[in-house]
Structure 1
């Protein structure tokens, strides 16, 4: 079952959003990634759990909060 999760991720530049996009796009279970730099919101459609995606984003070193 596919779920949609949202995270607040502190991103200050395109390099930050690129890092988040890179780690998420490597996961075959992630079907869609939307990064809103203005509001610093990352929306992910995936079959993984909310916590699994949170852990992946956190590995980038960006301050991340589950919404």
Structure 2
């Protein structure tokens, strides 16, 4: 069976965001399966898309994006 082709995305994140990714990956991991930071990002993308599809308020996400710690430089 051929390997699933994936697109690569590079983003710049702060040290605090990297620490959150590391902490989340650690918390989601179990002795049987280690979760990578990339898997956490993919999970977050799917969760946000699902919530938006279910009518989640855009204003909450826009407020988070407007926060200084998430803004692109």
TM-score interval (norm. to shorter): 0.3 to 0.5
Structure in which a larger fraction of residues adopt helix: 2
**Which protein, 1 or 2, shows the higher relative CO under an 8 Å CA cutoff with sep ≥ 6?**
1
TM-score (norm 1): 0.34
